[in-house]
Structure 1
């Protein structure tokens, strides 16, 4: 038999698995990597070959994902092949092109390697770069497929005799482990000065003394300090220009994680996964970390070591560490030594370099448990570039370039989509360059040239401008922002028919030229119809209102679609906090309709309520006001909703938040209680809109999308309430509901559109 195995079958120990399986069954033949798949030729008794085919997929390595097996019966074996010599071998790779290529994400250090790392009798004792076929770097070091050492960042490190012997030994778990190395032949650490003999010890001494160190990691440089060193954490904030956005904390093991926060079973499964993401967990009041790590928040981002170097640092220092991306806020992570030295060197106390190049930039993934399921908020190391399904097989390779914020790009090949790692805000020059590099890297790795590009409708997005610059009009597919959000959720969950898409986010350009953001759509993958929306309010100063929740609150007070009573707006404490000059200026802008675009935005409504409750007047990072509002609501306990009104306007159901805001302003009781009541209100409004439109359309499947659904409290209550109405509800799990999932949604829409012709 000639057997082609397609899927994620390179870089996961698949060839060694095939070798052991075939030899155990007494088969003759060979296996090799070919382009992006694996080819097996096997000969032997029919019963043995049949068992081989059954076990080939049923017992495949845990990190593999077999999508398709193509079996062809051969009448005989060419002269001189291994099939005629009575044995089974692993043959040199070839560059055959058949079907899509797939590359696994980086894999966290496995238990077997971890035992070796801390075994004084092992030759790899305390070696920071040990790995095997079941763990180690993959996406960050691969330059091309098929997956062989010569095509990885390890090509500059020839294996020593013992490593080569393990590599050739079928009984060894490093049999054909391409990145394998040891202290005698592999990469080494280097401290800022070459005069230090023990680079790791030098870095650990600085951290232990309260210093700040840059460490070259798997997918980029990281900044590391003790999590309980308050002054150092504040210094880190100043250096990164990051006043309040929380930092992640790396801990030695689950036991330490439980001293910091409430690690439930779903959070534990995410923490222990081979992706090793940052997981947001409820914070214990007495958690032994500096208050500056996550100021004002009820959660901590916690993660476990995922590389041998991290394990050594956490074990030796025996304390939680702040481990954050090696960059200034909104800039791409440093991946080269020269860049790290130039950008990070001036504000750290030393840099821990190493000799293995980083070929692809990957930040850490972020996960939050929402509605009793781990949900990816940032899809990066450990998750990307694992493929996702498309709702239709694209007849031509396509590229989806995503949104402006939390940008990712997605490549669509046939029925599969490959989303690159999280990039960030394209307004930064460095991130824009990384965006273009990511497109080139994805296209090159998968050996395709995209023929069609999908992009957002907003002409101001740099991703849209990129598409318009390099593709002709006939090769471009514009995808409405919120259609992309809900299509991403639908495609991930394999929704086939029409669905109701509930899209809540900051805002995106609607097809009528206005800004949308609180929408209920009737969709399939190629078209949509708007059924309901939030009432509009002006954004005074445009982007200034996004950065300033207090301005957004003034937009609702003085310019909501249904005006609030004057006696309520004139006496609010927000006006006194802002001062007469700013209030008068913003009010005149609204009355004159000068630079005050209107938006039907759920996200901006959350911002306004946060400002009205005194939680956040100026946001220092995207979503800060909503995060603080949710944190307050989580402390509020169960409560009754505020008033709300749902009516018809121009053929749409419209939620009027004016009664809600009046209650926010005039309600007695703690801020936390009002915040919780507001969340309860949005849940009730949403259920009312969805159930009424489900009754009218007969569509019972609901897909939620948009950054507002990162909100654990809202998404949890809403999914439960909708399910209670006998509706089928879906929320993104492996694909972020925020703008990080927009490119995947664009690819889903574009693939279906191309399939329809």
Structure 2
């Protein structure tokens, strides 16, 4: 035929392990085209030949009709020579060369697989490891690329004849699905006691019975073990808290369906879409009055973290147990989630009475992701299972491969190569050996998986962070130290595909400043290559330094002293009789470093109004102050802003107003709301003044304090009324979990600047 053409096609992005080759095969055969498709270290390669109109249609539909788990980043097409092949086929993978392909994240059970495990007539009825090309484990089981079964933890499970037939049948949705299996050839479930000895009976029935008896059970998920109890049982929740050493931090709750979630929380369309997405994160939802959840599950919290089942095992367990269940990370507080079977028995044996486990190995531990909806779109609080290792795609490239080591708390690391930054799964707080080992092993896995040998390593300026010490100990790399709050704003820029400059508002707990002091309430003019500090909260001493972070009443004493309000009649001082010693510590400056931290300002106010004098987890006092704030309160405390060229926001003014309202017997929820409103107004006023002096009309908001939805909403609404363009996070968290993206973006920009 005169109009016959032959094309060579390369597809890059997340195109392995998502059914892309079967999709290409079906599309080509439907159009009567010949050729082949295969995987290699770059992605998917295709040669296709046939009539020109059909080839054009093939190329158009290649992107438009890609499988649901695919993310096509780029399609390149060149002419190919030679005679057409006979028919169309899937060819062997090519593992040669430098790896450049992306790996898919783990995906929640699809509707088809959910139907199969519920159908008594299906051969996978009740099978807890059912999956297909549209769902199931990916990142947590892959050892290497190309993404083929021998390179996953499924390599030890030989396919039975029926699964083999499905795997090689182009018309079957399990065609070349690497984790495919069934009850005859796949992993098996087991239910054991805390010593690993099998319990008699059906594992799922026995697990449901144990939950009914109020026991704590450990459940092996996609990326590690969880601890589960009946979420309606106060005794069970209290026992879990005591054994896990988690005093107050809210637990997540897994429910069987959206309808069950609606019985607990109000859910709008955007929240439902997030709940039911393939990511299946924990979604923070507003709790309904009288929701049948034990108070100890989320004490003092107006929200619940809710998630739906995301594996067949979860679906099957919740069909046997009638109530929502607490499903929290399988660890002792501050340690990484357990993911190896022997380690889980050792670490969780004092917490769980029984283990619902299986023999499919987990290669890389991955916690659940945590999200909420803000302004109609998802906002991540913790980015992990279901999202990692999806890349953040930038509109520019890295001249040299980059490793960004992240922060100390809520650590993630990231690798940068070509136009991609790949942030890691949530590592945790780098404060012990177990978490540091998870950090270093994760970096080694990413370097292998994505074939990256870093030439440039970005790290925080704080010399005592374990992530910094890791970086400076590396050989033959260029080190780039990145100031913490610059990294926050750069993270927000990269999250939005922008380079700046912007007016950056970076509010968090603590970060090492360029002057050696503690920063945390910063107004920066920043782009990806540098920043200027043009404003900040006035610094106050932190009496006892890190002790003040854990005991907010100490920071309250410092702020009261700054406001000349140290009066013995204040209840916060009466509750803490050592306040005179702490005040002296603040005055003489010994062991009381100055801090401009917004997080510590929230702590001080929380202690003064009686919310909390000491915390059990990071940000607790500020979170509880936000939860307490009255809805719709219009009052706003005044704040003075002075100085120039660097503006200073006097947080002590807010404290003075708080104390005055307390003495006037104003209800604490009203005080909390007025404090939030006053701080938000001060943020906007500083941005207005800086726009006048710089001409910059775009504001970027980042830092853990901006996970406070009340403050964030007030700031965003007022900035927009002042005609600011506002950049927020969506692909990575605003907290320190997003720092690694910012570090990588800065390192890449500095490398480009030298070209």
TM-score (normalised: structure 1): 0.96
- In 2, the alpha carbon distance for the partners of 1:386 and 1:10 equals 12
Matching residue of 2:8? 2
Quick check: 2:243–2:350 contact (8 Å CA) kept in 1?
no
Shift in Å at residue 509 of structure 1?
A: 0.9
- In 2, the alpha carbon distance for the partners of 1:494 and 1:433 equals 32
Match of 2:653 among 655, 659, 663: 659
Shift in Å at residue 96 of structure 1?
A: 3.8
Q: List alignment gaps of at least 5 residues for structure 2.
A: 1-6
Secondary structure, counterpart of 1:190 in structure 2:
strand
Matching residue of 1:574? 572
Match of 1:368 among 355, 372, 381: 372
Matching residue of 1:176? 176
- In 1, the alpha carbon distance for the partners of 2:479 and 2:421 equals 18
Matching residue of 2:282? 278
Secondary structure, counterpart of 1:347 in structure 2:
coil
For residues 44-59 of structure 1, the aligned pairs below 5 Å read 44-59=50-65
Quick check: 1:391–1:748 contact (8 Å CA) kept in 2?
no
Quick check: 1:392–1:748 contact (8 Å CA) kept in 2?
no
- After superposition, the C-alpha distances for 1:374-413 in whole angstroms (9 at most, x for unaligned) are 2000000011110002353111111000000000000001
Quick check: 2:33–2:55 contact (8 Å CA) kept in 1?
yes
For residues 371-382 of structure 1, the aligned pairs below 5 Å read 371-382=375-386
CA distance 1:69–1:636, shift in 2 (3 Å): closer
Quick check: 1:6–1:99 contact (8 Å CA) kept in 2?
no
Matching residue of 1:80? none
Quick check: 2:285–2:305 contact (8 Å CA) kept in 1?
yes
- In 1, the alpha carbon distance for the partners of 2:502 and 2:199 equals 64
Matching residue of 2:612? 616
- In 2, the alpha carbon distance for the partners of 1:600 and 1:416 equals 34
Matching residue of 1:328? 332
Matching residue of 2:514? 511
Secondary structure, counterpart of 1:470 in structure 2:
coil
Quick check: 1:453–1:471 contact (8 Å CA) kept in 2?
no
Secondary structure, counterpart of 1:32 in structure 2:
strand
- After superposition, the C-alpha distances for 1:113-156 in whole angstroms (9 at most, x for unaligned) are 00001000000000000000000000000011111111111000
Quick check: 1:369–1:712 contact (8 Å CA) kept in 2?
no
- In 2, the alpha carbon distance for the partners of 1:261 and 1:524 equals 40
- In 2, the alpha carbon distance for the partners of 1:570 and 1:206 equals 53
1:219 paired to 2:223? yes
Secondary structure, counterpart of 1:101 in structure 2:
coil
- In 2, the alpha carbon distance for the partners of 1:725 and 1:647 equals 21
Quick check: 1:491–1:745 contact (8 Å CA) kept in 2?
yes
Quick check: 2:507–2:520 contact (8 Å CA) kept in 1?
yes
- In 2, the alpha carbon distance for the partners of 1:570 and 1:195 equals 61
Matching residue of 1:723? 720
For residues 163-202 of structure 1, the aligned pairs below 5 Å read 163-192=163-192, 193-194=197-198, 196-202=200-206
Matching residue of 1:644? 639
1:415 paired to 2:419? yes
Matching residue of 1:534? 537
- In 1, the alpha carbon distance for the partners of 2:475 and 2:265 equals 49
Shift in Å at residue 98 of structure 1?
A: 6.0
- In 2, the alpha carbon distance for the partners of 1:464 and 1:391 equals 28
- In 2, the alpha carbon distance for the partners of 1:609 and 1:372 equals 30
- In 2, the alpha carbon distance for the partners of 1:18 and 1:342 equals 47
Quick check: 2:99–2:451 contact (8 Å CA) kept in 1?
no
Matching residue of 1:247? 251
Shift in Å at residue 313 of structure 1?
A: 1.0
- In 2, the alpha carbon distance for the partners of 1:451 and 1:687 equals 40
- In 2, the alpha carbon distance for the partners of 1:719 and 1:347 equals 43
Match of 1:17 among 17, 20, 23: 23
Quick check: 1:140–1:219 contact (8 Å CA) kept in 2?
yes
CA distance 1:548–1:471, shift in 2 (3 Å): farther
- In 2, the alpha carbon distance for the partners of 1:720 and 1:265 equals 22
Matching residue of 1:684? 681
Secondary structure, counterpart of 1:369 in structure 2:
strand
Matching residue of 1:466? 470
- After superposition, the C-alpha distances for 1:618-655 in whole angstroms (9 at most, x for unaligned) are 0100010010000011x343221012111115x21111
- In 1, the alpha carbon distance for the partners of 2:378 and 2:80 equals 46
- In 2, the alpha carbon distance for the partners of 1:74 and 1:659 equals 72
1:550 paired to 2:553? yes
Matching residue of 2:527? 524
Shift in Å at residue 570 of structure 1?
A: 4.2
Matching residue of 1:449? 453
- After superposition, the C-alpha distances for 1:552-609 in whole angstroms (9 at most, x for unaligned) are 1112122xxxx3124x544321110011xx2122122112211101111111101110
Match of 2:624 among 625, 628, 637: 628
Matching residue of 1:477? 480
Q: List alignment gaps of at least 5 residues for structure 1.
A: 78-82
Runs (4+) of structure 1 moved beyond 6 Å?
none
- In 1, the alpha carbon distance for the partners of 2:263 and 2:459 equals 45
For residues 297-308 of structure 1, the aligned pairs below 5 Å read 297-308=301-312
Shift in Å at residue 225 of structure 1?
A: 0.8
1:490 paired to 2:516? no
Count of residues in correspondence between the two structures: 741
When the two chains are superposed, the root-mean-square deviation of aligned CA atoms in Å is: 1.2
- In 2, the alpha carbon distance for the partners of 1:578 and 1:152 equals 56
Matching residue of 2:564? 565
- In 2, the alpha carbon distance for the partners of 1:124 and 1:64 equals 25
- In 1, the alpha carbon distance for the partners of 2:439 and 2:98 equals 28
Secondary structure, counterpart of 1:454 in structure 2:
strand
- In 2, the alpha carbon distance for the partners of 1:272 and 1:347 equals 31
Quick check: 1:391–1:496 contact (8 Å CA) kept in 2?
no
For residues 48-447 of structure 1, the aligned pairs below 5 Å read 48-77=54-83, 83-84=84-85, 86-97=86-97, 100-192=100-192, 193-194=197-198, 196-390=200-394, 392-447=396-451
Quick check: 1:391–1:491 contact (8 Å CA) kept in 2?
no
Quick check: 2:99–2:145 contact (8 Å CA) kept in 1?
no
- In 2, the alpha carbon distance for the partners of 1:9 and 1:24 equals 20
- After superposition, the C-alpha distances for 1:16-73 in whole angstroms (9 at most, x for unaligned) are 1100001011111110110140000111112211111111111111221111112121
Matching residue of 2:4? none
Shift in Å at residue 3 of structure 1?
A: 0.8
Quick check: 1:32–1:90 contact (8 Å CA) kept in 2?
yes
Quick check: 2:244–2:351 contact (8 Å CA) kept in 1?
no
Secondary structure, counterpart of 1:346 in structure 2:
coil
CA distance 1:358–1:678, shift in 2 (3 Å): same
Matching residue of 1:27? 33
Secondary structure, counterpart of 2:473 in structure 1:
helix
